[in-house]
Amino acid sequence: MKVVAFLGSPRVEGNTELLLNEAIRAVEEEGHDVTLFIPSQMNLSPCINCGGCDETGECVLEDDMNDVYQAIREGERFILASPIFFFGLSAQIKALIDRCQAFWCEKYLLKKPVPEGPNDRKGLLLMVGGMKREEGFECGNATATAFFRSINVQEHDKLYYKGVDAKGAVKKHPTALKEAYAAGKGLVKLSGQRSRLADVRKT
């Protein structure tokens, strides 16, 4: 199956990327192809709220989002990974998500959601942040949930880790990388074989 991953961190080889790499490694070991998008390295304009997608479900802006739109339509599994900045997803990934207003219009205004495909559409959310309270992930999860539902991903697992800030600090976490790997394995299991991992909160 086709798996699409989004790396929301602008920090090269940071904690978010390390977690995502483990999930991707697990997916690829199961024989699936992964298309990776890194917004910080792409030409992405922010949504300008022009309303151009209201009647067509298509964005009027021309940039690298065209590749993202196609991948989302063709994908069956999706991994969204982001650090938490000021209690929200990174600006880089948020810009990409905002441009998915076109899918929201297509689904909710035009009543033409992206087809689920033979294996349904499922997601995985990976978040990491330096804050000490779990509440710091709530806004990020809410945004990710809106994104997933807009692209017709009806369920997603999530892993999030607080108190992880310095570059590479996640390597010292006793379980984070192993759990990200396991989550990747679980993501590509077919219905009835799904991993029991659904919601993990770790310090």
What is the greatest pairwise CA distance in the chain?
Answer: 50
Q: What is the DSSP string of 173-197?
A: SSSHHHHHHHHHHHHTSPTTS--S-
The reported pLDDT for the residue numbered 197 is 46
Greatest mean pLDDT among 51-55, 130-134, 199-203: 51-55
Segment 127-182, tens digit of pLDDT: 999 888 888 899 999 999 999 999 999 999 999 999 889 998 899 999 999 999 99
Tell me the average pLDDT of the chain: 92
Query: What is the pTM assigned to this prediction?
Result: 0.92
Both tokens of residue 63?
Answer: 């940039």
Checking if the pLDDT of 196 tops 80, the result is: no
The structural domains of the chain, with segments of one domain joined by +, span 2-202
d(CA 3, CA 83): 21
**pLDDT range class, residue 202, cuts 50, 70, 90:** low
The reported pLDDT for the residue numbered 201 is 52
What's the whole-number mean pLDDT along residues 98-120? 92
Segment 22-31, tens digit of pLDDT: 999 999 999 9
CATH (residue range 2-202): 3.40.50.360
